[in-house]
Amino acid sequence: MKKEKSNPSNRPATMRDVAKLAGVSQPTVSRVLNQSNTAISISEETRIKVMAAVEQLNYRPNVLARGLRTQQTQMIAVMIADISNSFFHPIARAIQDVARERNFDVMIANSDQVYSNELHFIEAVTRRPVDGVIMVPIHITNQFLGEFVTRTNTPVAVLGQHVDHPLIDVVFARDDKAIYDATQWLVKERGHRELGLIGSLDDLPPGPRRAQAFVDALNELQIPVNPAHLLPGDFTLEGGRRAVQQLLETTDKLPTVLVALNDLMAIGAILCLQEAGYSVPDDVAVIGFDDIAEATIVRPALTTIAQEPADIGRKLATCLFERIGDLAMPRRILESPSHLIVRDSA
């Protein structure tokens, strides 16, 4: 009585167990279960015996073992940039939907826009191979990402960032164009001449690209840009508050409108402005980017550039699965639409 063996076999049933119970060999069980494999014939009799045994033992194939043998894990990994940013929720949901259709599991990770978390994620997916990766890189360099891909041969779909690699597909939103148009709209249709920006030229992606579009639009219209009105922003709610605080401290001439590079910052800015006694949009108008759920909660309701995160998620996922199906697939750069939604904040 060295080991307690009260449980006859307190572990999930294996193929061997099924085989023994059905009175066939273990490979036969495998063939019955993977009947989809063409050109393999199994007698109806043994198929029934095997299925009965499977049923009786409540057998489920061990995906780990299968993955080791086939080098395919039936799993993709997703790294989003900020789980607190509602923008990513429909994306995650859409990805899970597409994955479900193909019987893939999804492993979601959240980088919180922190570099070490991004590195850890890459480390994790090289140690635990997955069939594909979807990610929103913020700090990670394209080169580093490229090296991961060539080293592991893992297809990757990236959101927002252009990465030049034959195994990496990209989905983006022409956000620069959208910001450019929105900025011009603020000037031409709304008559603003003092515009501020939250999320500056030297911040995290996609900051610089969008900020540049903002600056370009104003240059085009020959509207001067007040450097004190270019605020940094880290794409969080708190970041939006901080930007406005900095604005209030460093200048007494407020812009008439603030262009925030995402909704979270826009909302933070609105809250902070209101707490400081300013009226939005009368004293300072605010416009955001993304059209997240909170945009209709905040008062005044947020004028913003809507993206279609569900569409983005679906594009990312289908792109990825197509490449998983055929590594040689030509590289794709997909565009997801965006459009201005005018509510009350600007």
Partner DNA sequence: AGTGACAATGCATACGATTGCATGCATAAA
Partner DNA sequence: TTTATGCATGCAATCGTATGCATTGTCACT
Residue of 65, 276, 293, 333 that binds DNA (CB under 7 A): 65
SS3 track for 302-331: CEEEEECHHHHHHHHHHHHHHHHHCCCCCC
Ranges assigned E (strand) in the chain: 75-80, 105-110, 132-135, 156-159, 168-172, 195-198, 230-231, 257-260, 285-290, 303-307, 333-335, 338-341
Q: Residue 96 CB, nearest distance to DNA (Å)?
A: 23
Of 104 and 214, CB closest to a second copy: 104
Q: Does 128 bind DNA (CB under 7 A)?
A: no
Distance CA 279, CA 281 (A): 6
Instruction: Copy the structure tokens of residue 118.
Output: 């991004």
Of 60 and 339, CB closest to DNA: 60
Distance CA 15, CA 26 (A): 6
What counts of helices (H) and strands (E) characterise the chain? 12, 12
Of 2 and 151, CB closest to a second copy: 151
Instruction: Pick out residues in 94-133 that bind a second copy (CB under 8 A).
Output: 96, 100, 105-110, 112, 120, 123-124, 126-129
DSSP classification of residue 202: T
Distance CA 113, CA 115 (A): 6
Segment contacting a second copy by CB under 8 A, of 5-13, 132-140, 197-205, 280-288: 5-13
Q: Residue 21 CB, nearest distance to DNA (Å)?
A: 12
- For the chain, the residue count is 346
Q: Are 217 and 205 in contact (CB under 8 A)?
A: no
Q: Does 70 bind DNA (CB under 7 A)?
A: yes
Instruction: Pick out residues in 32-51 that bind DNA (CB under 7 A).
Output: 33-34, 37, 40-43, 45-46
Q: Does 245 bind a second copy (CB under 8 A)?
A: no
Query: By rule CB under 7 A, what string of x and - marks binding of each residue 6-35 to DNA?
Result: -----x--xxx-------xxxxx-xx-xx-
Residue type for 83, please?
Answer: I
Instruction: Pick out residues in 37-66 that bind a second copy (CB under 8 A).
Output: 58, 60-65
Bridge partner residues of 274 (DSSP)? none
Of 124 and 329, CB closest to a second copy: 124
Segment contacting DNA by CB under 7 A, of 65-73, 89-97, 132-140, 231-239: 65-73
Q: How many residues at the interface with a second copy, by CB under 8 A?
A: 48
DSSP, collapsed to helix, strand or coil, labels residue 96 as helix
Query: By rule CB under 8 A, what string of x and - marks binding of each residue 126-155 to a second copy?
Result: xxxx---------------------xxx--
Of 131 and 234, CB closest to DNA: 131
Q: How many residues at the interface with DNA, by CB under 7 A?
A: 30
Distance CA 244, CA 199 (A): 11
Around Cβ 143, how many Cβ atoms within 10 Å?
10
Using alpha carbons only, what angle is made at residue 345 by residues 343 and 346, rounded to the nearest 5 degrees?
Answer: 85
Query: By rule CB under 8 A, what string of x and - marks binding of each residue 256-285 to a second copy?
Result: -----------x---x--------------
Distance CA 320, CA 333 (A): 12
Around Cβ 243, how many Cβ atoms within 10 Å?
26
Of 40 and 276, CB closest to DNA: 40
Of 100 and 193, CB closest to a second copy: 100
DSSP classification of residue 205: T
How do strand 132-135 and strand 257-260 relate by DSSP bridges? unpaired
Residue ranges of alpha helices (H) inside 25-62 are 26-33, 44-57
Q: Which partner from the list DNA, a second copy, none does 215 bind, CB cut-off 5 to 8 Å by kind?
A: none
Binding-site ranges for DNA (CB under 7 A): 11, 14-16, 24-28, 30-31, 33-34, 37, 40-43, 45-46, 59-62, 65-66, 68-71
Binding-site ranges for a second copy (CB under 8 A): 10-12, 58, 60-65, 67-68, 73, 75, 83-84, 86, 89, 92-93, 96, 100, 105-110, 112, 120, 123-124, 126-129, 151-153, 237, 267, 271, 293-294, 296-299
